[in-house]
Structure 1
Amino acid sequence: MGHIISLTAADTHHFAAYEAGDPKSKHALVVVQEIFGLTAHIKAVCDELATHHGYHVIAPALFDRVERDAVLPYNETGMKKGLDLRSKIEPEDLLADVTACAHALNHHGHNKVGILGFCWGGLIAWQAATRTRDFAAAVSWYGGGIAQYSHEEAHCPVQLHFGGEDTHIPHTDIQTIRENQPDVEIFVYDDAGHGFGCPDRPSFNKDARDLAHERTMSFFASHL
């Protein structure tokens, strides 16, 4: 199991992060939270990547920018508060936090670091791929808002996963991404909704989650 560490971004912001896995592991990943914070689910994802796949993983507590230790419930109340907290954080600050995680992994000798984001974190993973050069590969699961930035050029290979029944991300958005990014690998899971990879959410779809996980692991194995 992992543990909480403290990191410092380039702007001197101190934030908590969850670290899992052996620093001497061959591969490294930054895992980026949903709109609900550094939840037990995100920690479990890190633990699985470390225990079953041998990754050294760090997941930043992004809400520390505005509220320390904010972990929200998977319901409408939690979603509303998460959106409010997100609105108070500049995108550049989010990138500073995930970049600080990448640099911490670099410090342990990992020359190539991947980034894996879920929900809000899925958009951040896309922006980390297009706006920084700190990552060797990026994967996004149901990242809302990517279409708006899909004209931006990625500096590393990217893989995107969406639910075909996702009411938060229109099919037109996915089509826009396809048109603007013909070289980006995109998977759509027909019977899956938003958050299909999280067992703590009503939308959890085990078949879609397992297939997306398999594809994600294969993608990182090829690029890290």
Structure 2
Amino acid sequence: MSGEWIELVASDGHRFQAYHVKPEGDEDPRAGLVIAMEIFGVNGHIRAVADGFAAEGYEVLAPQLYDRAQPAVDLPYDTDGVARGRALREQVGWEGPMLDVGACVTHLRQGEAKLPVGIVGYCYGGAVAWLAAARVANLGCAVGYYGTAILNFMNAAPKCPTMLHFGSRDQTIPEDKIEALAEKHPEVAIHVYDADHGFNSDRRANYDEDSAKLARERTLDFLAAHLR
């Protein structure tokens, strides 16, 4: 797949970059998809994830959610990268990224087809996807992977079908907290894998191929069921 960087404008006037990729060939996309990045930015892994969903027929946007604090962030998978990512996350807060996700949804829905649009987020982006399900209009569904900050927003009420993936060995998201989340939101599909935080990324030491494959299959089925 061959993507490109485009500029979008949020409803508050903020201009930001997003990685944009469409399915190859002449067929129209089956739906639109927003990919919410890890705390490391829209790096090679997230772009590869976006390319992978485009190969499944989706038109994809992966917004640079840190552009409100620092443009073109691409952090390394190390202790310094984690610290810098957390600092940037604190700088941008949560309201601005919701506006950015909303701008992506609007862009994907433009034109006569008005594509149904979903969101899939990883790590920091998992919490972005969770909040977007509650706060962003015109989302058909949401999927979040190991979003630690979801635990800070347990009272958020998703307004669209939502699925969450967690790892049982993730020290940042204890299983009792996952159980509490499931009890509070029985309408949310929650899957727990014998894996650690970041198990989907083949660029990270915690990558777990079997868990990543199963979570992807479940995600694709979920998207197909709700983005029609």
TM-score (norm 2): 0.94
Contact 1:37 1:72 in 2 (8 A): yes
Structure-2 residue corresponding to 1:145: 149
Overall identity of the aligned pairs, in %? 41
Structure 1 residues 70, 85: closer, same or farther in 2, change over 3 A?
same
How do 1:196-211 residues align onto structure 2 when only pairs under 5 Å count?
A: 196-211=199-214
Structure-1 residue corresponding to 2:48: 44
Structure-2 residue corresponding to 1:12: 13
How do 1:114-133 residues align onto structure 2 when only pairs under 5 Å count?
A: 114-133=118-137
Secondary structure (helix, strand or coil) at the match of 1:62 reads coil
Secondary structure (helix, strand or coil) at the match of 1:145 reads helix
C-alpha displacement at 1:212, in angstroms? 0.1
Contact 2:30 2:115 in 1 (8 A): no
Contact 1:2 1:21 in 2 (8 A): yes
Structure-1 residue corresponding to 2:97: 94
Amino acid paired to 1:55? Y
Selected match of 1:194 from 178, 197, 201: 197
Secondary structure (helix, strand or coil) at the match of 2:133 reads helix
Secondary structure (helix, strand or coil) at the match of 1:7 reads strand
User: Partners of 1:128 and 1:154 in 2: how far apart?
Assistant: 8
User: Partners of 1:147 and 1:213 in 2: how far apart?
Assistant: 23
Amino acid paired to 1:186? I
Selected match of 2:170 from 148, 166, 174: 166
C-alpha displacement at 1:146, in angstroms? 1.2
Q: Structure 1: state its 5+ residue gaps.
A: none
C-alpha displacement at 1:90, in angstroms? 2.4
Structure-1 residue corresponding to 2:221: 218
Amino acid paired to 1:84? A
C-alpha displacement at 1:183, in angstroms? 1.4
Q: Structure 2: state its 5+ residue gaps.
A: none
1:54-108 superposed Cα distances (whole Å, 9 cap, x missing partner): 1000000011111111110011110000001111112110100011000000114
Amino acid paired to 1:201? R
C-alpha displacement at 1:148, in angstroms? 2.6
Contact 2:77 2:204 in 1 (8 A): yes
The answer to whether the aligner puts 1:84 opposite 2:84 as a matched pair is: no
Amino acid paired to 1:146? I
Contact 1:26 1:110 in 2 (8 A): no
C-alpha displacement at 1:134, in angstroms? 2.4
User: Partners of 1:57 and 1:194 in 2: how far apart?
Assistant: 24
Selected match of 1:29 from 15, 28, 33: 33
RMSD of aligned residue pairs (Cα, Å): 1.1
Contact 1:66 1:85 in 2 (8 A): yes
User: Partners of 1:139 and 1:114 in 2: how far apart?
Assistant: 8
Instruction: Kindly report structure 1 stretches of 4+ aligned residues shifted beyond 6 Å.
Output: none
The answer to whether the aligner puts 1:156 opposite 2:160 as a matched pair is: yes
Structure-1 residue corresponding to 2:72: 69
1:160-197 superposed Cα distances (whole Å, 9 cap, x missing partner): 0001111111112201211110111000002x100000
Amino acid paired to 1:212? A
Contact 1:28 1:110 in 2 (8 A): no
